[in-house]
Amino acid sequence: MTESVYSVSGMSCGHCESAITREVTAIPGVTSVKAVASTGLLTIGSEQPVDEAALRAAVDEAGYELVGRA
């Protein structure tokens, strides 16, 4: 299993965390997601490394911006 941590811009509340979690969980191979608004960090557990383009698209769909790896 792989764990990756990313920085996300624009998260400010629990609703933000939920929106990002919902979108990122839908990416094939993702096994766990933890979005934390207070730190702006997104931690993803996956079977294999997650395709960054798919991750960026999911975060964008939720209405936020993936800044990059933390």
Predicted TM-score (pTM) of the model is 0.94
Please state the three-class secondary structure of 28-66 as a single string: CCEEEEEEECCCCEEEEEECCCCCHHHHHHHHHHHCCEE
What DSSP designation does 24 have? H
Q: Which domain holds residue 8?
A: 2-69
34: domain CATH number is 3.30.70.100
pLDDT digits (tens, 9 = 90+) for 5-64: 999 999 999 999 999 999 999 999 999 999 999 999 999 999 999 999 999 999 999 999
Distance CA(10)–CA(30), nearest Å, equals: 22
- Total number of domains constituting the chain: 1
